[in-house]
Structure 1
Amino acid sequence: MNNSRLQFSFLCIYMLCAAGIITFADGWWDTTGNEFITTFMQNYKASYGPASFQLMIRASESSAFASVKVYNTDFEVILSLQQYQTMNVQIPASAELSGSSNFNSKTVVITSTQPVSVFSINYKPYTADSSVIFPLQVLGTEYYVFTPLGRYGSPQFAVTNSNHTNNVLITLTGSVTYNGNYYQSGDTISLNLSPFETVQLQSAASLSGTRIQSQYPVAVLSGNNCYTYHTYCDIVFEQLLPVKEWGTESVISSLPGRNFEDTITIIASQTTDIFTNSGDKSNKIVLHEGGILSLSLPPTSFLEINATNGIMVIFTFTGGMLYNIESDPFIMNVIPLEIFSDSYILHTQNNFANFIHIIAKESVKHDILLDDQPLPNDLIWNSISTTEYVWADIPIEGTSTAHTVKNCSACGVYICGAEYGISLGTIALPVKIVNPVENLKASVFKGASVNVTWSSPTKGEVGYYYVQLIGSPSQNAIVTKENAVFTGLMPPNTYTVIVEAVDKYKITKSIPKSTTFFCSIPTNWCLSRPSKKCCPKADTSCRSIDRKCFCDEKCKVYGNCCDDYSMLCKGTP
């Protein structure tokens, strides 16, 4: 603890939601949903304060009503959120967990009528950290814990149950005293958790590699209540992703203005070959179930990681200089290459030195847009020499508005901030790349109309489709379904239809798909007649080429005119 620090002023690293199914079959980490559960782990000493526990709730593409409750208490806040609006909820200090114990009235439950995103800030004077909170559909039944061990503070993790009675097994890698019983490394704690019950376990030893198995999905927060390495102690925590969401490839590079080495930690869930390359040194190591590999990341360096099975990779900022400001530790998930995205959204606030840490392919670095503007020409890019990637750090002003990174053709983006004695870092959340539409077809009907249909492999991620009809006349339409109809075509003519899918946050477009069709003259039009298209007097022989309708003046009396009679013979009514 550094009592000479400035009053805390946090960087809100709230990542606007991005949608998708968070499985590596789809390659996606989802942060939007209608149901969330979380808790606030012990920050330094439970008696220390005052505490400021905050949740930031942000609406997605639709306005929403959201409820924030502390389970089994009278605390509830109802929010009315407009599209893309963010609102803060102050959670009572009494919600803080303390020690190794079970808690039946400290779980925070968030529900909403439309998808929202949730970001958590656990703050006490001079000690704070933050994390994205993942929705219920992302949670899993198998986790491995990461709890850094420093010169001070207690490694800790919390398991939060949802709305089922749930059997949970925790196989420890460090000693724990829980419910009056002493458990050693290798022991298994068997729990039967009630709906929305939370258990927090603390130790004087590292608990990294501890395995959590559950009958139904749970949320897991993990870290240290006041981790100390190079500087003063800070709470560090992240919400962990379950084993099913782990990737096999990662590239990470050092943060700017560092004067100490940081740490990259790799955890495996099964026997896995790990290949690492830092440019001047490559290595292979085999990790077994629950195995841990910690690697140093010196200033101005990088690390490429490949694995034969899914692995969890965590970046630990160990404290010291960050962006030339003395700061305390934080931890953050490392984005696997499998979920590198084309676009990201992030959000900052004032009073911090903020910067974006971006890893992108060298071939596209000049195409990247920050808030729709090209990156500075004098931006320094550093090579990750063993790959096609480069990295850069981009200062960005702290504001209360959203920032976007676009056109990076599958890149990784992190947002970090530093103030004297305080630092925060986390992933920027990707906007899912929208795949091109498939099975594009154009079917002409009634002679001068066309029905355009297609299918979308990422239907749930699409906000709308932009459809263009190129020809004479040209038209366009914005639709939300996989269908568009255009009328008023002028046969004979050739037309081209172009369809682009736009993501729900209006950030990315798919690659356009097109098809060309010929609009021929219908056989039931006056225009199909080989000569004398219109007859000014009554003439029963003045018919279309298929002889199904008439083009003489009397057809209006008998109601049997061809479809184009009014337009062609008498002018548009």
Structure 2
Amino acid sequence: MDLHRGTVRRNLPIVLLLLGLLGASQAQRHFITAFMEVPGNPTLQLYLVTYGEAAMVNVTVSAPSFHQSVSVGRDSTALVSLGQPYMISSNQISSKVVSVTSDADISLIAFHTDDATADAMAVLPVEDLDTEYFIFTSGSGEPNQFAVANGIYPTVLVTVTVSGSITYNGVQYGHGSAFSFSLGYQQVIQLQSRTDLTGTRVVATSPVAVFSGNQCFRGINTACDVLLEQMHPVRNWGTFFPVFPLATHTNDIIDVMAANPDTIVIVVTSQQSTQYHLQPGSHERLTLDRAALVHSSEPVMISYLFRERKNGKYDPFVTSVPPVPNTRKYYKFVTQSFYDNFLLVVSQAASPSEFYLDHQPLSSFPLNHMEINGFRAWEASLGKIDGQHEIYHSSSPFTIYVYGLENVISYGYSMGQETTYPGPSITSPTEEPERLTSPTEEPERLTSPTEEPERSTSPTEEPESPQELHCFSDGAEFHLPLRLVSEAKINVLNVHLQDPQCRGLQEGNTIILNIPFNRCGSNVHIKDGKTVYTNTIYGTVPGTSIHRIEVPVKCEMDMNETLGLSFHPKVTDVVSQSHYNVSMRFYQTDEFTDLITTFPHEVDLHGSLHLQLKVESDDTNLQILVEQCKASPSLEETEKGYSIIQHGCPLDSTLQNHPVPDQRMKQYSFHVFKFNPFQEVYLFCNVIICHNQTAPNRCTQGCITRRYRRDVSSAKLGSAQLSQGPIVLKSGAQLPNSQAGGSVPSMVLVAVIVAMAFLSAMGLMIQRRYYRRPGDSQPLISSY
């Protein structure tokens, strides 16, 4: 490898156990993409690829208005095309986000095509989007560009820290400078420059999609070709990459970029090992002349620029290099018959005969083989073939590159870096998975819960446990009887979740499977106002794709119930709203690091209270809204109370919202107060939990004034009620007489006694001013 250095830069939960034969899948039902600027008269082609279920897919654009509903049969592909009016132009914000939603798991492959140029990408589902990205472009002197798209949230604030130079709103921003802008729902911005933008950092307050490329790249002996790729967020980067040249090239480019300080990168080939030190946004641009392994001390991103011409006159494209390890063993992909199409498979599998491409051993295709340090790549020639393809391996994870070459035009994309993806529904033609029956059906292998088991248990045997599913805040636990595994003639090690690396453990006559909601193939979606987490338990015949046990499981989180709770005042309490745990805690300072754990807690009357409310869940798509907070002199809510927050609106003039990046958390500070003649204060708060997939929802509404409250009540959104305290005043603290006998807080001081009529008129003016200023709610929601 020639190493050329480039530019350095609980109530009882609602639990459902679905018994029956369902296809394996993970959440991949919502996508957002953008039609970036391409010379000529291009077309955006969206291939909708289904798996084991038919799907109804909706493709929409806000402006110009576009909506198309497509019914796609199972294991099929449909094509939706968008013309030039939906392409983004220049450096501008538009409402041209392309939103794709489906009622079943699909993959989305996007082709940007013109008569003489093309490129393609596997579009990421919204579950794989995040808030921090770095940009890769192909070099200086070219019309480089990137786009940021918001297709999920009402408003997102985006900050761009420039590497290179960008002109935005008539102002030129040089290297290291930053600027910000807001994107509304379904809005996208495109930014262009003739400088190399590699290393530009994009940070958003909520997950967005980011795309990058070049309008008119001039490669080796090529004139003007489009390059397009969707950027992966920093959280999905990796530390170990096997990299193989495509089409036996020796002059393509890989670009290694860091996000963290003092990142050490080691590039190993069959001839040498080279070490690099990178800082955030800096990168190494290397010429790839042979297979290589890239190791890094911190996560990095690797982009692959296919630029060399060999054995024909084809054009460049750009794609991403997926890291390992990954868990994906099954892919569906799309090719176009206009091109000579190729598939590169990267794996640690021993032989190509272990892979099945379109139901044929991969070894039956013309292959080119490469290998380095236990990693192997097989490049298969598919020919001029159109439509959907599938490839799978029974046990070894792998990544793929799909590309097509033709005279003065080409495309390419990779798959394997995404963390959520549909799974296979593959069975042997002669063998069906064991179907677990519901209690109302005639059993095949299982007995109904109301029937006696066929075999008895001896006095010395441990009794068999029934099938049970227990749902908790961050995951579930399923109990599978060992007898089922024995009857299916498989081993305990062959019982696993959607991700085969997540296996069960035997305890007596039961197999315990722990099911985290944020990994192991768990899927999340919204149904009837509930957040629903699903996964599937398999018993798989070793070395095959045959499932003899298949148990889909589901946990539903009901967000519409109100919990009335009492709390012992000496501890910090956590309460369960269905499966969600919501914590309410006091802290000593607004740093929110020194937790108060002992109550009663003494404070000075002139001090402040620091309150944190949080949904204790690993699901980052959850949001919390503080609907109401009210203080009371006792644990019982009485008329002698004082509202600090009501309908999501701040009522206390000293209330300060501390913005945090985690939308599952709210942090506030407010001045201490008391009720005469009481020395203790308790705080009651009602919170609402929402999921991003339901946006717009009550959480995104924020403060609701009087004129809109009827709509809120009709939504029947419930809340969890939490209380904490008591807070007591330190000895000797005095309260002004203006507080006596009332619920007005002590921070409202009356220095001079004036006429009661004047006080009444002032109160009316303050109240009218409050209701005329809906912007008063902004501190509660502006950071989300």
User: Normalising by the residue count of structure 1, what TM-score does the alignment of the two structures yield?
Assistant: 0.69
Q: 1:469 to 1:279 in 2, by over 3 A?
A: closer
- In the alignment, the residues of structure 2 paired with residue 207 and residue 18 of structure 1 have an alpha-carbon distance, to the nearest angstrom, of 40
Q: Is 1:367 matched with 2:354?
A: yes
**Contact 2:28/2:422, CA 8 A, preserved across alignment:** no
Q: Is 1:149 matched with 2:139?
A: yes
**Contact 2:109/2:334, CA 8 A, preserved across alignment:** no
Q: Is 1:417 matched with 2:404?
A: yes
Q: 1:433 to 1:310 in 2, by over 3 A?
A: farther
Q: Is 1:92 matched with 2:77?
A: no
Q: 299, 304, 311: which is aligned to 1:315? A: 304
Quote the RMSD (CA, aligned, Å).
Answer: 3.8
Q: Report the Cα offset of residue 244 of structure 1.
A: 0.7
Q: Which residue of 2 aligns with 1:248?
A: 239
Q: Is 1:302 matched with 2:288?
A: no
Counterpart of 2:85 in 1: which secondary structure? helix
Q: 1:249 to 1:202 in 2, by over 3 A?
A: same
Q: Report the Cα offset of residue 83 of structure 1.
A: 1.9
**Runs of 5+ consecutive residues of structure 1 not aligned to the other structure:** 1-16, 21-31, 435-440, 461-466, 475-480, 483-498, 514-573
- In the alignment, the residues of structure 2 paired with residue 500 and residue 136 of structure 1 have an alpha-carbon distance, to the nearest angstrom, of 25
Q: 1:114 to 1:175 in 2, by over 3 A?
A: same
Measured against aligned partners, the alpha-carbon deviations of 1:88-120 in whole angstroms (never above 9, x if no partner) come to 1121311111211211x3221222233332221
Counterpart of 1:94 in 2: which secondary structure? helix
- In the alignment, the residues of structure 2 paired with residue 140 and residue 346 of structure 1 have an alpha-carbon distance, to the nearest angstrom, of 24
Measured against aligned partners, the alpha-carbon deviations of 1:172-212 in whole angstroms (never above 9, x if no partner) come to 00111121111111110111222221111111100011000
Q: 1:509 to 1:218 in 2, by over 3 A?
A: farther
- Residue 446 of structure 1 aligns to which amino acid in structure 2? E
Q: Which residue of 2 aligns with 1:554?
A: none
- In the alignment, the residues of structure 2 paired with residue 392 and residue 199 of structure 1 have an alpha-carbon distance, to the nearest angstrom, of 39
- Residue 158 of structure 1 aligns to which amino acid in structure 2? A
- Residue 350 of structure 2 aligns to which amino acid in structure 1? S
Q: Report the Cα offset of residue 280 of structure 1.
A: 0.6
**Contact 1:53/1:123, CA 8 A, preserved across alignment:** yes
User: How do residues 37-56 of structure 1 correspond to structure 2 at under 5 angstroms?
Assistant: 37-44=32-39, 48-49=40-41, 51-56=42-47
Q: 292, 295, 319: which is aligned to 1:332? A: 319
Q: 1:512 to 1:273 in 2, by over 3 A?
A: farther
Q: Which residue of 2 aligns with 1:393?
A: 379
Counterpart of 1:33 in 2: which secondary structure? coil
Q: Which moved more, 1:136-145 or 1:343-352?
A: 343-352
Q: 1:511 to 1:414 in 2, by over 3 A?
A: farther
Q: 160, 172, 189: which is aligned to 1:182? A: 172
- In the alignment, the residues of structure 2 paired with residue 115 and residue 304 of structure 1 have an alpha-carbon distance, to the nearest angstrom, of 33
**Contact 1:345/1:428, CA 8 A, preserved across alignment:** no
- In the alignment, the residues of structure 2 paired with residue 161 and residue 500 of structure 1 have an alpha-carbon distance, to the nearest angstrom, of 35
Q: 1:431 to 1:218 in 2, by over 3 A?
A: closer
Q: Report the Cα offset of residue 326 of structure 1.
A: 1.9
Measured against aligned partners, the alpha-carbon deviations of 1:128-147 in whole angstroms (never above 9, x if no partner) come to 11111112221100000011
Q: 1:360 to 1:335 in 2, by over 3 A?
A: same
User: How do residues 535-554 of structure 1 correspond to structure 2 at under 5 angstroms?
Assistant: none
Q: Report the Cα offset of residue 408 of structure 1.
A: 6.4
Q: Is 1:125 matched with 2:115?
A: yes
Q: Is 1:161 matched with 2:150?
A: yes
Q: Is 1:381 matched with 2:369?
A: yes
Q: Which residue of 2 aligns with 1:530?
A: none
Counterpart of 2:247 in 1: which secondary structure? coil
Counterpart of 1:244 in 2: which secondary structure? helix
- In the alignment, the residues of structure 2 paired with residue 502 and residue 67 of structure 1 have an alpha-carbon distance, to the nearest angstrom, of 35
- In the alignment, the residues of structure 1 paired with residue 266 and residue 414 of structure 2 have an alpha-carbon distance, to the nearest angstrom, of 23
Q: 1:106 to 1:274 in 2, by over 3 A?
A: same
**Contact 2:367/2:381, CA 8 A, preserved across alignment:** no
- Residue 34 of structure 2 aligns to which amino acid in structure 1? T
Q: 64, 67, 70: which is aligned to 1:76? A: 67
- In the alignment, the residues of structure 2 paired with residue 156 and residue 253 of structure 1 have an alpha-carbon distance, to the nearest angstrom, of 27
Measured against aligned partners, the alpha-carbon deviations of 1:389-418 in whole angstroms (never above 9, x if no partner) come to 122211124243423232461232211211
- Residue 110 of structure 2 aligns to which amino acid in structure 1? S
Q: 1:296 to 1:61 in 2, by over 3 A?
A: same
- In the alignment, the residues of structure 1 paired with residue 547 and residue 239 of structure 2 have an alpha-carbon distance, to the nearest angstrom, of 26
**Contact 1:262/1:317, CA 8 A, preserved across alignment:** yes
Measured against aligned partners, the alpha-carbon deviations of 1:418-449 in whole angstroms (never above 9, x if no partner) come to 11111111124576699xxxxxx999972516
**Runs of 5+ consecutive residues of structure 2 not aligned to the other structure:** 1-22, 426-444, 456-463, 477-482, 490-495, 498-535, 551-784
- In the alignment, the residues of structure 2 paired with residue 149 and residue 511 of structure 1 have an alpha-carbon distance, to the nearest angstrom, of 53
- Residue 48 of structure 2 aligns to which amino acid in structure 1? I
User: Normalising by the residue count of structure 2, what TM-score does the alignment of the two structures yield?
Assistant: 0.51
Measured against aligned partners, the alpha-carbon deviations of 1:495-542 in whole angstroms (never above 9, x if no partner) come to xxxx98279xxx9457999xxxxxxxxxxxxxxxxxxxxxxxxxxxxx
Counterpart of 1:409 in 2: which secondary structure? coil
Q: 1:334 to 1:408 in 2, by over 3 A?
A: farther
- In the alignment, the residues of structure 2 paired with residue 268 and residue 81 of structure 1 have an alpha-carbon distance, to the nearest angstrom, of 40
- In the alignment, the residues of structure 1 paired with residue 325 and residue 209 of structure 2 have an alpha-carbon distance, to the nearest angstrom, of 23
Q: 13, 36, 39: which is aligned to 2:31? A: 36
Q: Report the Cα offset of residue 276 of structure 1.
A: 0.8
Counterpart of 2:271 in 1: which secondary structure? coil
- In the alignment, the residues of structure 1 paired with residue 52 and residue 233 of structure 2 have an alpha-carbon distance, to the nearest angstrom, of 27
**Contact 2:140/2:196, CA 8 A, preserved across alignment:** no
Q: Which residue of 1 aligns with 2:186?
A: 196
Q: Report the Cα offset of residue 380 of structure 1.
A: 4.7
- In the alignment, the residues of structure 2 paired with residue 199 and residue 401 of structure 1 have an alpha-carbon distance, to the nearest angstrom, of 32
- In the alignment, the residues of structure 1 paired with residue 381 and residue 467 of structure 2 have an alpha-carbon distance, to the nearest angstrom, of 45
- In the alignment, the residues of structure 1 paired with residue 376 and residue 148 of structure 2 have an alpha-carbon distance, to the nearest angstrom, of 37
- Residue 168 of structure 2 aligns to which amino acid in structure 1? Y
Q: Is 1:448 matched with 2:454?
A: yes
Q: 1:416 to 1:268 in 2, by over 3 A?
A: same
User: How many pairs does the alignment contain?
Assistant: 440
- Residue 302 of structure 1 aligns to which amino acid in structure 2? A
Q: Report the Cα offset of residue 67 of structure 1.
A: 1.7
- Residue 370 of structure 1 aligns to which amino acid in structure 2? L
Identity of aligned residues (%): 26
Counterpart of 1:114 in 2: which secondary structure? coil
**Contact 2:242/2:293, CA 8 A, preserved across alignment:** yes
- In the alignment, the residues of structure 1 paired with residue 359 and residue 194 of structure 2 have an alpha-carbon distance, to the nearest angstrom, of 49
**Contact 2:140/2:195, CA 8 A, preserved across alignment:** no
Q: Which residue of 1 aligns with 2:274?
A: 283
**Contact 1:68/1:109, CA 8 A, preserved across alignment:** yes
- In the alignment, the residues of structure 2 paired with residue 126 and residue 451 of structure 1 have an alpha-carbon distance, to the nearest angstrom, of 65
Counterpart of 1:339 in 2: which secondary structure? coil
Measured against aligned partners, the alpha-carbon deviations of 1:208-241 in whole angstroms (never above 9, x if no partner) come to 1100001011100001111111023211111111
Q: 1:88 to 1:373 in 2, by over 3 A?
A: closer
Measured against aligned partners, the alpha-carbon deviations of 1:230-256 in whole angstroms (never above 9, x if no partner) come to 023211111111111111100011122
- Residue 149 of structure 2 aligns to which amino acid in structure 1? T
- Residue 391 of structure 1 aligns to which amino acid in structure 2? A
- In the alignment, the residues of structure 1 paired with residue 274 and residue 300 of structure 2 have an alpha-carbon distance, to the nearest angstrom, of 16
**Contact 2:28/2:107, CA 8 A, preserved across alignment:** yes
Q: 1:184 to 1:502 in 2, by over 3 A?
A: farther
Q: 139, 146, 170: which is aligned to 2:129? A: 139
**Contact 2:35/2:86, CA 8 A, preserved across alignment:** yes
Q: Which residue of 2 aligns with 1:477?
A: none
